[in-house]
Structures are given as structure tokens and as C-alpha cells.
Structure 1
């Protein structure tokens, strides 16, 4: 590992400060550091690069911020399989599980080649309108179809591998990866899925029928959702960060992507410890 990219939550002064200190620490050890342009300008005295070009130029990416920052970087990495070290500057994250006090001890091990990664599957979501593709998205956490604030219940016809599943009447629908199972899916009553499992979760949001429940399907499945509404305000979102409005008759097709995200695992915490800490299991 000779070239390292650094991304940070630029609105967080602590993240910018840590990025400056980290860049100096890495350069002192003979590594070449790549910062995206705006972060470089905040730090000063170093060259910046377009954020989308950095993953192809480096051997390691360090993300300073929270889970949202890491998810946005994972989409930039795409199919390059550049390993990501997520450092959380606030409370412990599900993805950014390295705390600031463990950053440099972990980095020492990583630079020595003593680390393991967790491979997280990603999704590809395509929006089609009248048979024509109008949007394509890479997704780490989840795809969500949701109604606007004043919209009525949405009818969504769901097919799995061309087999009809059901028509959900609900406020919306979540198609989640195992990584995203602890995000919106969990809040909507879906299950927590161990990150290494090869599956997807389909979870209705506030379904009109009490018998509608989340269902787990193979990650090899192709899921098609046709939105049946006419005048309601309905939106499609990918990882809660990008998306587009939908029209009646639009079809959203979701399948496993060829891309996957490689997250460097903390040597100080395992997945179940992260769950216990983040969800406060065992507390009274």
C-alpha cells in the first residue's frame, strides 16, 4: 500500500482536522496521499483531485465521518474493489466501526498487510418508463419506493424472477441488502441479516394488510416493482442519497451488482459487538 485516498465529511470541523493530521502521518511514512478537491482546499498546502477519480488511483481509501459518508464513497469505488477503512468521528456506526482512538493502531496493522475485509454485496437498480431506461443506480444499503407527505397508499406489483409475489398496498417498499438491513429496513420492522449472507430483504412500509410481512429472497433473484398509482407523489431513492420521482407505470428492476464493497474489519470489534453497542442490547 503506497497510495492512500482520504475522504471526509467536510461539514465536520473535526473530520477536516483529522484529515490534515492523517495526511501528514501517512506522508511521514513515505505514502502518497490523495484528497478530493474541496477537502484539499480546506486543509491547504496540498493538491486536490476530482472525488470520482481517486478510487482508481489508490490502494486504500480512508473515510472520516459516518455511515452516510462511507456509503457515498462506496458508490464512487464501484467495481474497483479498493478496500475502505471507515472511521467514525461520532457515535459508533454499523459500517464505520473504527473509532478515532483506534485509527492509528489499526492503520499500522493495515499498512503492514495484517487485516481482513468484509465483502458487502451491492445492488444495481434500473428505472424504466414506457420500456425505456430513465435511471440507473448503484446501491450499497437499500432501494426505497416511498410516497410523498400528502400521497395516498401506493399499489406496487412485485415480481421475483418473473414469478408474481404480490401487490403491496403500503406507504412504500424497501429492497435491502444485508448491509442495509440495519437501516430503514430495521425501522420498518424488517429482520437484521448477517452481512455475509447471500440474500435480499423485501419489506413493505406500513402495509395496509396486516398479513403482509418482510420476505427474504436469494441475492441471485431479479426483483421488479411496478408502481400502479396515477396522480400521487411517489419517489425512488438509492441509499437515501440519490433518486428520482416516479410516474404511474414505472418499473424498478433490482438485481445484484457485479460490484461489491470491501470494508476493512476492526481487529478490536466483531459484528455482534457492534450490534450490541449500537442497538444497546442488554441495557435496562
Structure 2
């Protein structure tokens, strides 16, 4: 239960799908304004919002992505990707996020577009609980110089970015060698990301309350390389042979950077920095596993 007074509310939309919200956006905006809430959209959405939703209340305002941390609540309309993108943007302080699933899977997007208003009404009155998910950071250095830094929530993938062929990675934990693995790449996932790409590559399902990172080789060229779970208070270094010209580093399937020979990729926990999601009282983690992934269910015979 939270006693936080909610006054400033942001609405963030799934990119390229604004036209699907022709009814939802005006209704939601008007509903919030009637309850004396200040409503904000991103500046980058201003042209589309004002053009597509001619009946939207004129009291709405527009802010930069860097100002999202000043809001009391963020409502996302989209899927897991929209929610993850917002979480990664709030690098200073994460306001609670009320995720409305407009997509297909909606594994961490807690609320359905059909019946979310009841829980939203409770939320803006301060009657809500929060689920905190740890954020992690990727630092890429070359010859001691930092060349890239970003946060992730779900996973980081290292693989080839052009010709699909095997390559070798060296993975260390706190400067101690874990393994050298040859294959198509490596996935480093958080517990909440363990049900995404890592799971498809044979990694374990890891409960979000477990403070860990999962290292899952992609198609390893050896039967000896299996997924590994390690404590997330340890830093991980990933290195690759100088004969490899370029590799691709992808964060949460949303941001990609090219890394070349001599780069070291370091992954660590961002201390005291969490993504905060409004919890759906009707959903539990194991319920979601069964509903979204049919985990543990048997076919009738």
C-alpha cells in the first residue's frame, strides 16, 4: 500500500501504433483531468497526438523523456516492450508504471485493456502496491576508455551482426575465468528476462525475487557449456578474440551497438535503482507463467 499523492501522470504509447488508440486516449485523458490530474505526453508524440486525437482535452502538456522521473505515475499503452523502454529511460528515479497491455503476450504488463479502469482508479487514490525489478548496466570499454553505457531490464545479447558463423567469447566474473564458449553468441538475462530469449535458448526460468543473472550460450559448439546462474552482486566481463572484427551488443531488443576487437563488455547491477510497476492484485508470478507460457500444464489425453 502506498500513501504517495499522485498529481502528475504521464501517458506513453507504443510507437507506430497511435492510430489504434483513437478511443482510449481521449477517454483516458479526460477521465484523469476530471480527477484533477495533470496529464503529460512526450514532446516527440505531440504532432501525432494533436493530429490524431482532435477531441483530446486542451489541458494536456508535453515533456522531454529526460523529465519522466519528475512524474508521480506513468501509464503505458502497449506491450512489454513499451514498458521496458520507459523503465530504461528513467535513469535517475523511476516513477511507478501502470502497464496496460495492448499487445499479445503482456508478460510483465500487468493490466488488460478491457478492465484496467477499476485498478487505475484505486491507483490514483494511492491504493496500490509496487513490484520492484532490478535494473542492470552495460559498460563497454576499450583500452581503458568508456565508449558506451546503458541500462537494461530484460537481457543483453552478444552475437554476430552480419555473417552467421561461430565465434568464441571469454567470460569472467570478478576477474576470474568462468568459461570460453564457442557458438552463436551469449545471452545475459535478469530474472524477469529469463522467460524471454534466454528461455528459448534453453536457459532456466528464474523467479524475479532471486538476485541473480543467467548466462545462456546461444547454440554452443560443445555439450559441456550449459546455462549458468550467478549472483547479481558480481560484475561480469565479456571479451572476444582480436580476430573478430565486429560483434553486436543488443539491450532489451531495443538498442544495439557495434563493438569491435579490443572492447570489454562489463555487466553489473545498478545499485538502488529499480523499475517500479503497479502490481495487479489478481495476478501472481506463477499464474502468469501458466497463463502466458502454459508452464506446467499437461494436455488432456
TM superposition score category, shorter chain reference: over 0.9
1:197-218 superposed Cα distances (whole Å, 9 cap, x missing partner): 1111111110011110110000
Partner of 1:22: 28
Give the superposition deviation at 1:149.
4.2
Asked if 1:42 corresponds to 2:48, the answer is yes
RMSD of Structure 2 on Structure 1 (CA): 1.6
Give the corresponding residue for 1:136.
Answer: 149
Partners of 2:47 and 2:283 lie apart in 1 by 34
Post-superposition CA distance 1:88-109 (Å, at most 9, x none): 0132411112101221011111
2:259 aligned partner: 246
Does 1:118 pair with 2:123?
no
How far off is 1:144 after superposition? 1.0
Paired residues for 1:1-284 under 5 Å: 1-12=6-17, 13-15=19-21, 17-44=23-50, 45=58, 46-56=60-70, 58-258=71-271, 259-281=273-295, 282=297, 284=299
Matched residue, 2:53:
none
Q: Give the TM-score normalised by structure 2.
A: 0.89
TM-score by structure 1 length?
0.94
* Stretch deviating more after TM superposition (206-215 or 239-248): 239-248
The answer on whether the counterparts of 1:122 and 1:261 sit within 8 Å (CA) in structure 2 is yes
How far did 1:175 drift? Answer: 0.9
Q: Could you tell which deviates more after superposition, 35-44 or 255-264? A: 35-44
CA distance in 2 between counterparts of 1:206 and 1:71 reads 26
User: What displacement does 1:42 show?
Assistant: 2.7
Q: Write the distance in 1 (CA, Å) between the matches of 2:175 and 2:244.
A: 27
Stretches of structure 2 that go unaligned for 5 or more consecutive residues are: 1-5, 51-57
Q: Residues of 2 paired with 1:229 and 1:19: CA distance?
A: 51
User: SS where residue 12 of structure 2 aligns?
Assistant: strand
CA contact (8 A) 1:16 1:39 kept: no
Q: Is the 8 A contact 1:168 1:207 kept in 2?
A: yes
Bigger mean CA offset, 268-277 vs 196-205: 268-277
3-state SS of paired residue (1:43): helix
8 Å CA contact 2:10, 2:39 repeated in 1: yes
Please say which of residues 239-248 and 223-232 is displaced more in the overlay.
223-232
Residue deviations 1:114-138 (CA, integer Å, cap 9, x gap): 2111110111110111221110011
Provide structure 1 residue ranges, at least 5 long, that are not aligned to the other structure.
none
Distance apart, 1:81 and its partner CA:
2.8
In structure 1, C-alpha distance between the alignment counterparts of 2:9 and 2:77, rounded to whole Å: 13
User: CA offset at residue 54 of structure 1?
Assistant: 2.6
Distance 1:202 1:158 in 2: 9
* Partners of 2:137 and 2:151 within 8 A in 1: yes
Q: How many residues align?
A: 283
